[in-house]
Amino acid sequence: MKVQEPKYKIVVNWIRERMNDGTFRLGEKLPSENELSAQFQVSRQTVRHAIDVLEQQKLVSRVQGSGTFVGAGGRSDRHDRYMNIAVVSTYVDSYIFPAVLKGLERALSKGGYTMQLAFTGNQVEREQQVMDKLLEKGFIDGLIAEPAKSALPNPNLHYYQKLMEQGVPVLFFNSNYPQLKLPYVSLDDEKVGQKATEYLFHAGHRKIGGIFKSDDGQGHLRYAGYMRGLQNVGLRIDEKKVVWMDTEDFREIEQWSDYLLSRLADCTGVVCYNDEVAHVLVDICQKRGIQIPDQLSLVGIDNSDLAVLGDIPITSFPHPMEKMGKKVAENMIKMIENPYFDGNYLFDSEVIERSSVKKMEQEE
């Protein structure tokens, strides 16, 4: 037998849903007790109980003689804002960030916000320095951040928690810190890893390896997609065909040539963490006389300039880049205006075919 939901909870849930979808924005006055009572055909006492619950949850506040408003601090005035958003990225010169920055700057500027930039170099120590300065200076309405080494335990999470306690919205991009349960905007890395693996399978490859980044969350998700892709097409999972490398290893990837090629020796196709890895792997193979794609097929991720710079254009799954920057900025502005807005968003991607993958005859 289904238990009927208490009437006050119906009112609570209705108000919360409209906070979440942006119908009721921060600082906006809620319908009066009389209006809610008539709408839900309940007593004013029931409505008052619902408002009490929301106020205890710090979702609304009563202002004597004025009514009930969304937010714990009563009405919010745009002029109380600094109109300034901090943006913290890992690299200033990465092949992706300049395009992301372009989308960010345009959308923030359109919304009337200025932007202050800082870079961590994907180093936890540098992230600590950047966050120290941000908290010391203040004067920001929100923080957009790319996590440093997001797959590893991080000693800087308390900085983000402090901003949250101060009511400053935080939105991550490209990855996140799962422990914080904060929203992020990213390429759907797991789905793309799966699609890349299945793409090689449908091109006739049955021995598919992978190169993934160990200290960033994207690498783990792309690996998870790679594993799911193998399972979906009925291929045996062989960990010997997987290469894990961290940020420092990637900077000196050519020194790993022997190790890379020994792990991938039995493969006809490889899913690469990104185009940068695929580009370097092409160069390594050419120096060793390994023909791409006849002896080894490669799929990259990002569809960056590196995918078309070399002698062999690389098949790749595009990163949204500028579109991501625009989406991150738009979602941040919505989070500032409505603290209950869900800032999460994942971009899908479809393959751009080039010359790095050989179409093999299907096995019977």
**330-349 burial, b for 16+ CB within 10 Å, e for fewer?**
bbbbbbbbbbbbebebebeb
Here the tokens at position 101 are 């920055």
| Residue 358 included in any domain | no
Q: Is 360 part of any domain? A: no
What is the count of structural domains for the chain?
A: 3
Q: What is the mean pLDDT of the segment spanning 171-196?
A: 97
Per-residue pLDDT, 73: 55
pLDDT, position 277: 95
The closest alpha carbon to 298, from 262, 255, 351, belongs to 351
Q: Is 49 a domain residue?
A: yes
Kindly state whether residues 141 and 57 are assigned to the same domain: no
Gap between the Cα atoms of 321 and 101, Å rounded: 8
Q: Which of 9-13, 39-43, 250-254 is least confident?
A: 250-254
Q: Which residues, including other chains, have CB under 8 Å from residue 243's CB and lie 6 or more apart?
A: 209, 210, 211, 212, 259, 260, 263, 264
User: Average pLDDT over the chain, rounded to whole?
Assistant: 91
Pairing of strands 242-245, 170-173: unpaired
Q: Which stretch of DSSP H or E encloses residue 208?
A: strand 208-213
> Which residue range is the domain that position 130 belongs to?
78-187+321-347
The yes-or-no verdict on residue 78 having pLDDT over 50 is no
Cβ-based burial of 158 (10 A; exposed 0-12, middle 13-18, buried ≥19)? exposed
Bigger pLDDT: 290 vs 29: 290
CATH number for 128 = 3.40.50.2300
Instruction: Determine the Cα–Cα distance for residues 311 and 113; give it in Å rounded to an integer.
Output: 43
Among 119, 117, 116, 173, CA closest to 150: 173
Average pLDDT (208-230) is: 98
Phi then psi for residue 180, to 5 deg, are -85, -20
Gap between the Cα atoms of 225 and 221, Å rounded? 6
Quote the percentage of the chain above a pLDDT of 70.
Answer: 95
* C-alpha–C-alpha distance, residues 263 and 260, integer Å: 5
Predicted TM-score (pTM) of the model is 0.80
Task: Give the pLDDT score at 232.
Answer: 98
CB 68 within 8 A of CB 60: yes
In a domain, 46, yes or no: yes
pLDDT bucket at 16, cuts 50 / 70 / 90 = confident
Looking at the structure, tell me whether residues 230 and 131 fall in a common domain.
Answer: no
Report whether pLDDT(105) > 90: yes
The CATH number of the domain where 37 resides is what?
A: 1.10.10.10
In a domain, 361, yes or no: no
Amino acid type, 125:
E
How far apart, in whole angstroms, are the C-alpha atoms of residue 329 and residue 87? 10
236 in a domain, yes or no? yes
